[in-house]
Chains A and B, each alone.
Chain A
């Protein structure tokens, strides 16, 4: 071979090797500076595959290094039941973060940006194991949620049969507190009963017979208002705006941006086989969405809805989700305090408890 040809071939070979090497280095996942294991996490809309990792395993007390990016739209990375602020993930930009979990357990990471109709499906698990073998047993002995203890059917319709003619006002009801029986002011009564049940019970009290129906509803509103505080409501307002308003709407009417154009949820249709009539009415896309269980949620400002639901029932719905709707489960994401604040906040849509609390 002639010398120029040889030089040319070597030159070409080296250039191609350099280009190829760059590709190989880039193709190796989690390549990058830093020590320890790095998990590479890609956020994608659920339609595009959701989180690239379903489960991240870690050991208690040991750091987890995450390199995160979004492959499509703006997402964010947050951890349930934690005060850690969410990390926004912009398409193609990389974010790094280090997490340490002191306690073994299952933690949920999720997206807090309304990235699409199935936004709420963007959940993943961080499984933290520890030396402590008792942890699992501990988790088992944890108190059962009230809805399980009461054996409530979360899927059954729970519309109130009796509803007030005007919006109940806790402010007006406050004046009646002295006249209310002791059980009415008991927290346990609040937790286990719907406003309607409590109202019906009070209606049977001879001592309150002089009160008209509306005044009695005001008393019930006060009973509900007593169970929360301005701080709790403020916190719940933030949680609602971030997590719930996308579907339930800012005013609770069930008209959030994510459910625009979807059929209204009808509890009577749950578990019915074949939604033929619905499917025929809807176009292709909408049909696909309704088959995925997406529907516009009920209207909280319709008194039938919330006045017929007990806090225990609402807690169950929040914890477990489902009900044949697109309602996510929030158990691993909200703390007990957050859950409690949020439930009290929801009743505001049906009763004016806000002013009294302030």
Chain B
């Protein structure tokens, strides 16, 4: 992050100035391309390892790199420090994007139908609910949750899932414009967009007046995500690819360091129920995962693994009810107890922001519980990605398993309590009455106590 040094009087890292002073890490397309090429090669390796490598998860690159290394790094590094910085280097949309824009760098002959994402899928109505993209993402995340126990331990299934995702993303790129898969279907995208708002980095315009006067809107035209950077309210939709910075003819877009969780504080023009639901589903999921994988209920864990069995059906129903209904319902109930509301959906959306620090803390605490213990698998599988007894880099035999049995619970408790305090602040600021704030805080306290019980015991 050293290139983002900020001087106090100047929040903009890259001031409008001579091109020779421009940081090539941002203004050149090469660094991002190289990073994406490497992650894509890694993705191919992961799929091949999943399909053809050892069936023993702990010896397979696909399991260790996707579900231990990447999943941990995403939650502990990429999102808290860089927002959607993973999305900037994610290989999944790249083949489709390169083909549809006619080259690795923009400017080639465009291929594909370039259709708009169908309105029925983004703005369709289901009863009172407006079906925005994140509804699909919530559903996708719940689906991942249902099969997680098996996917997380079965290399071949992980391989097929990843292959399926990249093929789907590729196909969508040929039919629809922009990042159709990322924006509307990627379940991780919903998760990332939600918690990216905590990150101490943002891409924003410097002077909105300049944009208002600029008719071409080059930034919007070139944004792979279809985001209009001038209109960004928070980090959620921004994929951090920095293309807008590169193409702005007025050099009016910059990447800034900022305080943690700035988006949580800033008041928003609008709030969306689907985002509130996504935040609640994420909260429900992290609690359910903690209960299944770390909780004291062996029967529950066994049921989660027996996909298709009667026990699993019960587990699946329970999981969906818990994450999709119980946790959101509890929040709705406490909101209501906090005082009368005019329109329920609107209030849910309006008072949902305190859920973000709470959820982020829960996810980080959950990740800590397995990350350090399992990181010891990372070096060995680097040397032996397919679990065939290779030792490519001499690290196959490295045994490094730090004893985190003491530090881990302390860290988890600290993160959870920190999240609760942060949530409490956000609740005081967002809530219309002190009573409402109190009830939102009670909700946070209940979730935190439950997480403390599940993780720390």
> B382 CB to closest chain A CB, in angstroms?
12
Known A-B contacts A19-B45, A22-B385; the reply to A91 vs B37 at CB < 8 A is no
Stretch at the interface among B53-61, B195-203, B229-237: B53-61
Q: When the two chains form their complex, are residues A23 and B52 in contact, meaning their CB atoms are under 8 A apart? A: yes
A250 to B104, CA, bound (A): 69
| Residue contact A92 to B59, C-beta cutoff 8 Å | yes
Whole-angstrom distance between the Cβ of B59 and the nearest chain A Cβ: 3
Q: Which 7 A-B pairs have the closest CB atoms?
A: A23-B48, A92-B59, A92-B56, A94-B389, A26-B386, A27-B52, A15-B41
Residues of A within 8 A of B54 (CB): 69, 71, 92
Q: Are the C-beta atoms of B104 and A8 separated by less than 8 Å?
A: yes
The answer to the question of B105 belonging to the interface, with a C-beta cut-off of 8 Å to chain A, is yes
Any chain B CB within 8 A of the CB of A238?
Answer: no
The reply on B160 being an interface residue by CB < 8 A is no
- For B43, the closest partner residue in chain A by CB is A19
Taking A26-B52, A27-B48 as known contacts, 7 extra A-B pairs with beta carbons closer than 8 A to each other, sorted by chain A number, are A1-B103, A20-B48, A23-B51, A26-B48, A26-B386, A71-B54, A72-B56
**Residue interface bits A1-29, CB-to-B below 8 A is 1, else 0:** 11011001101100110111011001100
Whether the pair B108, A23 counts as a contact (CB closer than 8 A) is no
- Residue B345 interfacial (CB < 8 Å): no
Of residues 48 to 103 in B, which have CB atoms within 8 Å of A's CB atoms? 48-49, 51-56, 58-60, 103
B residues less than 8 Å from A26 (CB atoms): 48-49, 52-53, 385-386, 388
A-B contact pairs, 29 of them (CB 8 A): A1-B103, A2-B107, A4-B105, A5-B104, A5-B105, A5-B108, A8-B105, A12-B40, A16-B44, A18-B41, A19-B44, A19-B48, A22-B386, A23-B51, A26-B52, A26-B53, A26-B385, A26-B386, A27-B48, A27-B52, A32-B389, A69-B56, A69-B389, A70-B56, A71-B54, A72-B56, A92-B54, A92-B59, A92-B60
* Nearest-neighbor residue (CB-CB) of B38 within chain A: A15
The reply to whether B56 and A71 contact each other, CB–CB distance below 8 Å, is yes
- Residue B34 lies at the interface, judged by CB distance under 8 Å to chain A: yes
Q: Which residues of B contact A94 (CB under 8 A)?
A: 388-389
Q: How large is the interface on B (under 10, 10 to 19, 20 to 34, 35 or more residues)?
A: 20 to 34
Known: A26-B48, A67-B389, A92-B58. A16 touches B103 (CB 8 A): no
Q: Mark A101-120, 1 if CB is under 8 A from B, else 0.
A: 00000000000000000000
CB neighbours (8 Å) of B49 from chain A are 23, 26
- Whole-angstrom distance from the CB of B33 to the nearest CB of chain A? 6
B295 at the A/B interface (Cβ < 8 Å)? no
* B387: interface (CB < 8 Å): yes
User: Is there an interface contact between A16 and B41, defined as CB atoms closer than 8 Å?
Assistant: yes
**Closest Cβ of chain A: how far from B353's Cβ, in Å?**
41
B48 engages A91 (CB within 8 Å): no
CB of B42 closer than 8 Å to a CB of A: yes
Which of A15, A18, A22, A71 counts the most B-chain CB atoms under 10 A from its CB? Answer: A22
Bound CA span A170–B375, Å: 62
- The complex places the Cα of A15 from the Cα of B388 at a distance, in Å, of 22
- Chain B residues, Cβ within 8 Å of A91: 56, 58-59
Report Cα–Cα, A44/B191, bound state, in Å.
38
Task: Say yes or no: A92-B45 contact (C-beta < 8 A), given A8-B104, A12-B104, A71-B55.
Answer: no
Q: Mark B234-257, 1 if CB is under 8 A from A, else 0.
A: 000000000000000000000000
Residue numbers of A with Cβ under 8 A of B are: 1-2, 4-5, 8-9, 11-12, 15-16, 18-20, 22-23, 26-27, 31-32, 67, 69-72, 91-94
| Chain A residues, CB < 8 A from B48 | 19-20, 22-23, 26-27
Which among B40, B48, B104, B388 has the highest number of chain A CB atoms within 10 Å?
Answer: B388
Please, how many angstroms separate the alpha-carbon atoms of A358 and B90 in the complex? 74
Q: Which residues of B contact A20 (CB under 8 A)?
A: 44, 48
Interfacial chain A residues near B108, Cβ < 8 Å: 5
- Once A11-B34, A71-B56, A92-B59 are accepted as A-B contacts, the answer to whether A23 and B44 lie under 8 Å apart by CB is yes
Contact indicator B37/A92 (Cβ below 8 Å): no
Give the CA-CA distance A19 to B41 in the complex, in Å: 6
Separation of A139 and B105 alpha carbons in the complex (Å): 74
Write out the residue numbers on chain A whose beta carbons fall within 8 Å of the beta carbon of B58. 91-92
| Distance in angstroms between the alpha carbons of A27 and B56 in the assembled complex | 15
State how many angstroms separate the Cβ of B284 from the closest Cβ of chain A.
Answer: 31
A266-B203 Cα distance, complex, nearest whole Å: 77
Quick one: given A26-B53, A31-B388, A92-B54, are A9 and B41 in contact (CB under 8 Å)? no
CB distance from A304 to the nearest CB of B (A): 40
CB of A49 to closest CB in B, whole Å: 10
Closest to A15 in B: B41
The answer for the CA separation of A94 and B53 in the assembled complex, in Å, is 13
Q: Closest CB of chain A to B15's CB: distance in Å?
A: 27
CB nearest to B385 among chain A residues = A22
Chain A residues in 8 Å Cβ range of B385: 22, 26
**Is B37 a contact partner of A11 (Cβ separation < 8 A)?**
yes
Residue on B nearest A4 in the bound complex, by CB: B105
The listed residue with most B CB atoms (<10 A of its CB), out of A8, A9, A19, is: A19
Cβ contacts under 8 Å, A22 to chain B: 45, 48, 385-386
Q: How far is the CB of B102 from chain A (nearest CB, A)?
A: 10
A314 to chain B, nearest CB (A): 40
Chain B residues, CB < 8 A from A70: 56
CA–CA, A93 and B390, complex, Å: 11
Taken together as a complex, chains A and B put the C-alpha atoms of A221 and B387 apart, in Å, by: 56
Interchain CA distance A144-B388 in the complex, whole Å: 45
What is the bound-complex CA distance between A9 and B104, given in angstroms? 7
> What's the minimum C-beta distance from A40 to chain B, rounded to whole angstroms?
9
Alpha-carbon separation in the docked complex, A8 to B32 (Å) = 11
CA distance A9 to B103 in the complex (A): 9
Answer whether A12 and B105 are a contact pair too, CB < 8 Å, given A22-B385, A26-B53: no
Q: How far is the CA of A18 from the CA of B45 in the complex (A)?
A: 9
B41 to chain A, nearest CB (A): 4
Alpha-carbon gap, A175 to B346, bound state (A): 99
Q: How far is the CA of A2 from the CA of B30 in the complex (A)?
A: 14
> With A and B bound together, what is the CA distance between A356 and B30 in angstroms?
87
Minimum Cβ distance to chain A for residue B159 (Å): 10
**Taking A12-B37, A23-B52 as contacts, is the C-beta distance between A92 and B387 under 8 angstroms?**
yes
Q: Residue on A with the closest CB to B94?
A: A12
